[in-house]
């Protein structure tokens, strides 16, 4: 079985992410969306909330599994899942520079696991989780940028805040 890993913090998952998951799922028998914790980020949603939001957002893709990931090196996580491929979505050249360096580290650590880059659909090229959180904080329009379940979760998160 060909297993691919699509890792990220997904705080929150966006329609751009879902587009990458849909397209990546066609490259493998099973795609694992690994919801990782980045110690350098302060997440809006808990790990459990992010997993549930992604599960709701990918329910229509039969070969996608959502996992709460693991701490430690991504390459070790990929090996533990018998994955041969790490799939990364790219929006801009700046994403490529960062992801390229990470891919080279992964290749250094395990030459058998490939990193594949998928360019985002143009209509999502400006969408980032950071931008979505900012829009939601100030009651900006989220239509078409995030799945409906994520939109409702964001509205609930910021309903009682005066930020």
Q: What is the CATH number of the domain that holds 95?
A: 3.40.50.620
pTM recorded for the entire structure: 0.92
Annotated binding site for substrate: 9, 41, 74, 88
Count of the separate structural domains present in the chain: 1
> Percentage of the chain with pLDDT > 70?
98
Give pLDDT tens digits for 135-150.
Answer: 999 999 999 999 999 9
Confidence band of 160 (pLDDT split at 50, 70, 90): low
Residues with a known catalytic role: 17, 41, 91, 129
Q: Which domain holds residue 15?
A: 3-160
Q: Decide: 141 and 135 in contact? Cβ < 8 Å.
A: yes
Give pLDDT tens digits for 63-104.
Answer: 999 998 777 889 999 999 999 999 999 998 878 888 999 999
Q: How far apart are CA 139 and CA 84, in angstroms?
A: 41
What does 42-90 look like in DSSP terms, one character per residue? --SS-HHHHHHHHHHHSTT-TTEEEE---SS-HHHHHHHTT-SEEEEEE
Annotated binding site for ATP: 9-10, 17, 89-91, 99, 124-130
């Amino acid at each position: 079985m060909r297993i691919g890993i699509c890792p990220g913090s997904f705080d929150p998952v966006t329609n751009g992410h879902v587009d990458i998951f849909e397209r990546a799922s066609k490259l493998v028998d099973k795609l694992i969306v690994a919801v990782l914790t980045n110690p350098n980020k302060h997440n809006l949603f808990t790990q459990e909330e992010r997993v549930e939001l992604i599960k709701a957002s990918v329910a229509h893709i039969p070969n996608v599994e959502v996992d709460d990931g693991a701490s430690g090196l991504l390459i070790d996580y990929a090996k533990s899942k018998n994955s041969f491929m790490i799939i990364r979505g790219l929006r801009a050249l700046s994403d490529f520079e960062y992801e390229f360096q990470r891919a080279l580290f992964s290749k250094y650590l395990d030459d058998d696991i490939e990193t594949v880059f998928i360019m985002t659909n143009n209509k999502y090229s400006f969408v980032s989780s950071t931008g979505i959180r900012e829009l939601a904080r100030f009651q900006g329009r989220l239509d078409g940028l995030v799945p409906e379940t994520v939109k409702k979760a964001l509205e609930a998160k910021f309903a009682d805040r005066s930020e």
